[in-house]
Structure 1
Amino acid sequence: MFELKATLRNAVGIFNSQEERIAALEKIFKMHVHPVGKIDTLVIGLSSAIFGVTFIFMVIAWSKYKYRPIRAKNLPLTTCMFFSGIMWFVGDIPMNGHVLLEGPWRLCKFWNVWVRVLFCFIYTMVLFSRCYALDRVFNQNKPTSGWAYYAPSVLLFAFIIIYSIVTQAMPDKLTIGYREDYELCTTTDGYVIVTLTMLWANWLIIIAMMYRLRNIQSTFNEFYEFLCISFFGIAAMVKTNVVHYTHKKYPYVIGYRVAETIGDVIIINGIILLIIGYPVVMSIIRPREYEREWLLRLRTDGLQDMYEANLNLRAEGPLHYSRMSASIPNQMEKAMSEDNINDDSLFGIHGFGHPIDNGDSAGVNSGYLPTEGMSATTSRTPRNRNMREFDNSSVNSADTIDEAAKARRIL
C-alpha cells in the first residue's frame, strides 16, 4: 500500500523537473501551460521601473510640499495610495504566476487575501477618502475634521479588515489554498465572485462621489481628472472580470498573466500620476508663474476661504475685503511683470478675498456662498459677486472705469 501511494504521488506531485510538472498540469487542465521564464522576469522588471518613475514624482512632490498647487493634492493620502499600489503589485507576482510557488511564495492565502486583495481595497478606499474630503468642502460646506468626516473611511477600512479576517478563518477549500501535489494555488468560484462584487461596489461608490464633484469651480475642477480615474477604475474591473471568467487558469497562460499584471500596474500608477503629475511638472519648469496663475484663479473663483479653512492652504497677506483703490489694477500689472515676484505681494491685495467667519465651522459663509435673504437679482456665483463689488467701487471717474477694464482683463 505504501509503495502504491508513493508511486501515485510521484506521478502527479513530486516532480523530477519542471518539465514533468508542466506535462502533468497540461494533462489535468487539457490546455497548454506556459512555464515561468524570462518574460515573467521582464514583466516584474518593467513594472518595477514604472513604479520607480512614480516614486520619483512622489519624492519631488514631498520635496516641494510647501508649493501650494502640490499641497492641494493631499500628499499623505496620495502617498498611502502609492504604498497600497506597491503591495497590490507584490501580491500579483505569485498570484498571477510570475514565480514558481516555492518557499514563502507557497502561502497562497496570505499573498492573495492579505496583500493583493487587501491593498487593492485600501487603494480604492483612499481614493474614496480623497473624493469625500472635496465633497465635504465644496458640496456639504463642512470642515474636513471631526467624526463625521473620518467615520465613512474608518467604517470602510473596518469592513475590509473584517472581510480579510473572515476569509482567512474559512477553510481553504471554500476560499483559496495551496495544492502541494500540483504546486499551484486554487480558488473557488464563490470566493472570486464575492471579492469581485465588493470591488465593483467600491468603484461604483467612488464614481458616484466623483459625479457629485462635477460642479467644482475652475480652480480645483478635477472633473476631467476624475473622468480619467473613473475610466481607469472601470477598465480595471472589466479587465479582471473578463480574465477570470473567460480563462480561470489564466496564471498558466503567458499572455493572460502578463496582461493582468501590466494592466494593474498601469492603472495603479496612472491614477497617481493623474493626481500629482501636472503640478509636479509645473513646479519644475515654471514654478512661480504656475503658482501665481493658480492662486489668482483661487482668489477670483471665491474658493480661498474654503481651502484655507479646511486644507491648510494659507496664502499669506491681508484677506479683508475693502473697496479697490484706483491704483490696484496698475499694481497688479506691475507685480505680474516683475521677475523676482513674491506671490503673496500680488495675492495679498485688498479686494480679492474675504475674512474667514470664525463663527462658521467650515469657514465658507464669509461672503462667497449665497446666503438666506439674498435678493432675486443678486448674482449667485462668487466670481460675479466680486466683480459686482468691484464695479460699485469703480464708477466715480473715467480714469477709474479705465482701470476697471484692465482689471477685468486680468481676471
Structure 2
Amino acid sequence: MAFPNEAFEDQRLQNAIALKVELDKRGAADVATVMAFAAVVFINFLAVLFTLWNRNYPPIKAKSPLLMTCLFVGSTFWYIGDIRGHGHVQQYGTGLADCHVSNIWMHAVSGMFAVCGLYALRSQMLYQVFHLNQPCSGLKFFMPTIVYSTIVLVFAIVMQALGDKRTTYYVPQLDICSGTNTYKITILTLLWGAVLYDAVMYWRIRNIKSSFNESREMAAVSSLSILVLLVTTLISFLKPSYPLLMPFRVTMTVIGQFCVHLTWWSIMAVPIYQCLFNRHTYLVKWRATLREDGLQREYRADSSSGMQPITDNATKSLQTSYGDKVTNTHAFYYGNESGARLYAPMTYADVGAIIGHEAPSAISNSCSGESVIDSEGVGRKLV
C-alpha cells in the first residue's frame, strides 16, 4: 500500500489529460481518509480482542461474540476494498492491480456480501429465539444462509471465469480498476437483494419482546445499510469515474466506513463499556431486567459465567435469617457450592415483607456477610 508519489501522480494527470478525463491527484485528503479509518479498524480490533477475552460475561455472550468477530473481519476486508477500489492508494507495483482478487473476492465477497449476510443471520437468530422460541440449529434454520452463500460463491466464480474485459479490469494509464455496466449491475443487484433481505428480517422482528434493544439495533443496521447502498448505487451510475475525483471517492469511503463501523458499535458499545467500567453492578441489573421480563431462557442467563440458580444449601443459609419465604426471591450465586457468594437482589420493602417487619433503613449483617446499598436504593446481601 503506497501513499501518493508526486512523480507518479503527475504522470497520471498527464495521461488523464491525453484521454480527456478529469482527474484529481491523490493527496492529503486521501492520506487522511486512509489513516483515520485505519485507526478505527485498530480500535475495533482491540474491542474484538476484549470481547473474546470476556466472551463468557453474560451481557457480551448474549451478543454472540463469534458472530461479531466475523463481522469485524468482514468490515476489515470492506475497508481494504474501499481504499483500493475507490482509488485512495497507488495500485501499480503493489499487488493490488489484480482487480479480480481485490474487487470480487476481497471487496465484494469477503467484505460487503459477508457483512450483509452476517447481519441477516443475526436478525434470523433473533427471530428464531424471541419470536419462534426455538434454538438456532438445524438445516431449516441455516438454509437461508446456505442459499445466500451459494449464490455469492457462484457469482464470484462466474465473474472470475468471464475474464477482465467482461467484468472488472485494471486501467494502467489511470492506475484504477474499472468495471463493465453488466458487472456493476450484477454486484449491486445482489447487494440490494442482501440488504432488502436484512430489511425483511428486521420487519419480522420489529415487535419481538427482548430486554436490550435488539430490535432497535437491527433497525439501525438496516437503515444504515440502505443508506450506504443507495449512495453507492447513485454515485456508481451518475459519476462512474468517481475514483478519479477526490470529493466523490472520499465521500464514498467516509459514508461506507462510518456506517459499517457504527453498526458494529451500535450492538457492542453498551456491553463492552459496562464490562470495562461497571462489570458487577451492570451484571446484577442485567439479570434483574431479564427476571422482570421473564427472558432468562432466551438470553441463556442461567448457564454462563458460573452463575446458576440458587442451590438448596444456599437457600437454607438465607432461611436461617429470613425464613421459608426466601425461596420466593430471585437469588444467584458465584462460584461453586463450597465457596459460593450469594447475590440476592431485594429492595428494603422486599426484605421487610420477607422477615415480617417494617422496611429497614439498611440491610443488616444478620447473614454474617457484607451489606451493599447501590445507587438505586437496592440492598444486596452477600453471604
What range describes the TM-score normalised by the shorter chain of this pair?
0.7 to 0.9
Q: Would you say the 8 A contact 2:188–2:233 is kept in 1?
A: yes
Alignment pair present for 1:100 and 2:100: no
Instruction: Report the Cα distance in structure 2 between the residues aligned to 1:141 and 1:331, rounded to whole angstroms.
Output: 26
In structure 2, C-alpha distance between the alignment counterparts of 1:239 and 1:230, rounded to whole Å: 14
1:109 shift after superposition: 1.8
Partners of 2:264 and 2:303 in 1: CA distance: 19
CA distance in 2 between partners of 1:285 and 1:330 (Å): 32
1:117 aligns with 2:108: yes
What SS does the corresponding residue of 1:200 show, helix, strand or coil? Answer: helix
Aligned partner of 1:198 in structure 2 is: 190
Seen in structure 2, the aligned counterparts of structure 1 residues 159 and 325 have a Cα distance that, compared at 3 Å, is farther
Residue aligned with 1:186, SS: strand
Tell me the CA shift for residue 187 of structure 1: 0.8
Q: Quick check: 1:133–1:144 contact (8 Å CA) kept in 2?
A: yes
Distance apart, 1:174 and its partner CA: 1.8
Match of 2:250 in 1: 258
Change (3 A) 1:281 1:251: same
Bigger Cα displacement from structure 2, 305-314 vs 82-91: 305-314
Cα 1:319–1:306 shift into 2, 3 Å: farther
Distance in 2 (CA, whole Å) between partners of 1:136 and 1:252 is 46
**Equivalent position of 2:199 in the other structure:** 207
1:18 shift after superposition:
3.9
Q: Is contact 2:170–2:177 with CA below 8 Å preserved after alignment?
A: yes
How far has the Cα of 1:173 moved from its partner?
2.0
Deviation sequence 1:89-143 (CA, Å, 0-9, x none):
1112221111223121211121100110112101111111111111111112221
Match of 1:149 among 116, 138, 141: 141
Alignment of 1:50-89 (within 5 A): 50-89=40-79
Amino acid at match of 1:198: L
**Cα deviations across residues 31-77 of structure 1 (Å, max 9, x unaligned)?**
3x111223222211111001122222222222222210010000100
Task: Provide the secondary structure at the position in 1 that maps to 2:177.
Answer: strand
Q: 1:296 to 1:319 in 2, by over 3 A?
A: farther
The alignment's C-alpha RMSD in Å is 3.4
Whichever residue aligns with residue 85 of structure 2, its letter is: M
Amino acid at match of 1:161: L
Equivalence for 1:225: 217
TM-score by length of 2: 0.78
- Mapping of 1:336-347 within 5 angstroms? 345-346=343-344
Structure 1 unaligned regions, length at least 5:
1-15, 336-341, 350-393, 404-408
TM, length-normalised to structure 1: 0.73
Alignment-derived partner of residue 371 in structure 2: none
Query: Structure 1 329/401 Cα, relative in aligned 2: closer, same or farther at 3 Å?
Result: farther
Distance 1:233 1:311 in 2: 34
Please give the alpha-carbon distance, in whole angstroms, between the structure 1 residues aligned to 2:78 and 2:55. 26
| Distance in 2 between residues matched to 1:150 and 1:182, nearest whole Å | 44
Of 81, 85, 101, 1:91 maps to 81
State the match for 1:385 in structure 2. Answer: none
Change beyond 3 A, Cα 1:218–1:101 = closer
Select 2:36's aligned residue among 46, 50, 70.
Answer: 46
Residue from 266, 275, 284 that aligns with 1:283: 275
Look up the match of 1:298.
290
- Equivalent pair of 2:130/2:210 in contact (CA under 8 Å): no
Count of paired positions: 334
Q: How far, CA to CA, are the matches of 2:264 and 2:86 in structure 1?
A: 23
Percent of aligned pairs with the same amino acid:
25
Q: What is the DSSP-based 3-state SS (H/G/I as helix, E as strand, rest coil) of the residue aligned with 1:178?
A: strand
Which residue identity is paired with 2:29? I
Letter in 1 for 2:271: P
Equivalent residue letter for 1:298? L
Q: Which amino acid aligns with 2:47?
A: F
Distance 2:243 2:41 in 1: 22
- What's the offset of the Cα at 1:246? 2.0
Cα distance 1:301–1:193, how it changes in 2: closer, same or farther (>3 A)?
same
CA contact (8 A) 2:167 2:182 kept: yes
Correspondent of 2:157 among 161, 165, 170: 165
Q: Which runs of 5+ in 2 are unaligned?
A: 1-6, 313-321, 334-339, 347-352, 361-376, 379-383
Report the equivalent of 1:3. Answer: none
CA distance in 2, matches of 1:188, 1:29: 20
The DSSP-based 3-state class of the residue aligned with 2:136 is coil
Letter paired with 1:54: N
Normalized per residue, which structure has more strand? 2
1:327-354 per-residue CA deviation (whole Å, 9 max, x = no partner) reads: 4499779x9xxxxxx886337x9xxxxx
Aligned counterpart, 1:356:
none
Q: How does 1:226-241 map to 2 (within 5 A)?
A: 226-241=218-233
**Whole-Å separation in 2 of the counterparts to 1:331 and 1:139:** 28
